[in-house]
Structure 1
Amino acid sequence: MELAESAAVGGGLIQRNPCRIKGAGITKSAERPVLTVEEVFAVADAIEGRYRAMVLLAALTGMRFGELAALQRRGVDLGGRFVQVRRAQAGPQSGKLEVKAPKSEAGVRTVSFPASPVPEIKEHMRIFGEDGRAGLLFVNPKGGRLRRNNFHHTWTTAIEGAGLKGVHFHDFQHTGTAWPPPGAPPRGS
């Protein structure tokens, strides 16, 4: 069909193909879901205890997995209820984890969260987090860095336990940006 079209346009028989539709043939990904408060807590209840605070922070702040995996104690202010995002963990094709600045300047930011998860985050830091100001907030059961591929089974088990389907950890980024900021009235009010 394209050959005939090219010949007709090229031969001056027609100026352009009237059947061409801008954007036709381009596949768009389905929009990712924004989880409800109930769904977030269902996931938090279903996931291993060491990851509950991570689920809550991800949903409330929109932080990415790599940012949470690189989050140190000194980046969390429970009194002020904010997290400073200054580092992100990436697992390039080499398989060796790298900790570096976020992808863009906009990725370096301070994100606030409401008071409700503060007791859980505090308890998480006491039980599961590494010691010292530079200690990581979230580590795997053996005390090492979190890796996406090792976290995958934990995640899928929690999603199934929460009765959800097709939810990715990345969906918390959309959830965190869709919810109203802490202290703000619900959107539309």
Structure 2
Amino acid sequence: MGYVADRWHKTRPGPDEAECGQHKGQVASAAHGKGKRWQARYDGPDGKERTSLWRTIPEAEREIVKKEAAKLAGSWIDPKAGEVIVERFARDTWLPAQSIIGRSEIEYLGALRRYLFPEWGQREMRSIKPSEAGAWQKLLTTKYNLSGSYPNRVARYVRGVFHLAVIDRVIPVSPFERIPAPTLVVSAVQPPDVTEVRQLIAAAYHPRWAAMVELTALTGLRSGELRGLRLSQIDFLRRTMLVDQQLVYEKGKGMYFDALKTGAGRRALPLSQRAVDLLAAYAAEYPPAGSGPGAGLVFTMPAAGLIGEATIDYAIKATCRHAGVKPRHWHELRHHYASVLIAGGENPKVVQMRLGHKDVMTTMRTYSHLFAAAEEKTRDVLDAAWALPGETAEEGRTDSSAKGGRFPESRRSDAVVSQLKG
């Protein structure tokens, strides 16, 4: 239990020390008359003594009772913990706590350096107010001119910094707690259809690019996963492909093989027979190199050279020109794969697993409009299935009552809607 100490007087005065002129029976200390007289003292959960100054004894006693109660309830916060500056906490505590690979760490830190540290880097964590948090989020678009999904992404990093500070009991509450995050703007993807993909395959100026375009459309591999694909990852008998690495580029390190960003990215993909035949034919025509940087890779440049992002981007744009279609990014072939799965009736969770998304919400945000279109297709399939012989699905929808349907004309949906409107 804590106790209250008198700062102005000595607890163990010497036998010859003079009595305090203002307080009878006390011996003045060097702090006499300076600042608040009463000092609340108590031990924190870590065993270290904490102190605070108060004007009266009751105030100091109330502080001790409050802190002891917080210790028992598990809600105690070190009053000095919030003095840590924002940049130090973000760098030394938050960033190492993220379960991310090195390249993602560089990305996170780059965002903090550009948008957080210039504004609050040298401020104490406890000093940031909710009003300032809301104003900072607005700066992402007004001052830094961020657009699309990027304001939400940057804000998510910074909000995470303060959320961890609350969990670590550095601050009692995050300044972002009641401040809504920037709207997540997700552009509706419009992937190429099968006809367009076939055009790209036919227009490719090298069998390498034709095979890579088709395989991406059949598997949804990311560019790095495709460029880092080894023949040993393919089980031709079981028709599966293990996706467990990617080829990446990092400034100062060049191209190298790295783990996938998340555990969800590591996946065993079921392969269609078309994909298996494609891989088998390509490997027979262009066997993987046995040595060099591209040893074992399915796709390489001449002399087993690694394929960089700039090279594959040039290839897809040149192929689009040859095919006479609008310019596409390689990632849109991945969207094509997702669109085919969705149109075929695969549920969002399966699509998430096939794409290696971290969570199903990412899948839903990206492809929500395609799932809506798939729902309409489901309705058409059901209408077609229940249409009577010789009639169309549309006729089956509207004329069921006239041809033996269970409900009379007045119960049809269009009639009911008309009655409701009336």
Q: Shorter-normalised TM-score: what interval? A: 0.7 to 0.9
Instruction: Please tell me whether residue 44 in structure 1 is matched to residue 205 in structure 2.
Output: no
Residue by residue over 1:11-41, the C-alpha shift from the partner in whole angstroms, topping out at 9 and shown as x without a partner, is: xxxxxxxxxxxx9997436433211111111
1:171 aligns with 2:329: no
Work out whether residues 51 and 138 of structure 1, in 8 Å CA contact, stay in contact via their aligned partners in 2: no
Larger-gyration structure (1/2): 2
RMSD of aligned residue pairs (Cα, Å): 2.7
* Structure 2 unpaired stretches of 5+: 1-140, 149-185, 347-373, 382-422
The residue number in structure 1 matching 2:265 is: 107
The answer to whether the 8 A contact 1:159-1:165 is kept is: yes
For residues 126-151 of structure 1, what are the alpha-carbon distances to aligned partners after superposition, in whole Å with 9 as ceiling and x for unaligned?
1224156x610110133211111123
Q: Who is 1:12 aligned against?
A: none
Letter in 1 for 2:329: H
Q: Does the CA contact (< 8 Å) of 2:191 and 2:339 recur in 1?
A: yes
Q: Which runs of 5+ in 1 are unaligned?
A: 1-22
Aligned match of 1:82: 240
1:16 paired residue number? none
Does 2:296 correspond to 1:135?
yes
Residue-pair matches, total: 165
Q: What SS does the aligned partner of 2:242 have? A: strand
Pair 1:145 & 2:303 matched: no
Deviation at 1:185, TM superposition (A): 6.2
Contact conserved, 1:72 with 1:136, CA < 8 A, in 2?
A: yes
1:103-131 CA deviation, whole Å, 9 max, x = no partner?
A: 11111001122112332221101122415
Equivalent pair of 2:316/2:328 in contact (CA under 8 Å): no
Distance in 1 of aligned mates of 2:325 and 2:187:
17
State the partner residue of 1:32. 189
Please give the alpha-carbon distance, in whole angstroms, between the structure 2 residues aligned to 1:179 and 1:38: 12
Q: CA deviation at 1:64?
A: 0.6
Q: Distance in 1 between matches of 2:321 and 2:333?
A: 16
TM-score (norm 1): 0.75
Could you state the TM-score of these two structures normalised by the residue count of structure 2?
0.36
Letter in 2 for 1:44: I
Q: Which amino acid aligns with 1:156?
A: K
Identical positions, percent: 24
CA contact (8 A) 1:67 1:88 kept: yes
Higher helix share: 2
Does the CA-based 8 Å contact 1:129-1:139 persist in structure 2? no
Q: Assess if the C-alpha contact under 8 Å between 1:128 and 1:139 holds in 2.
A: no
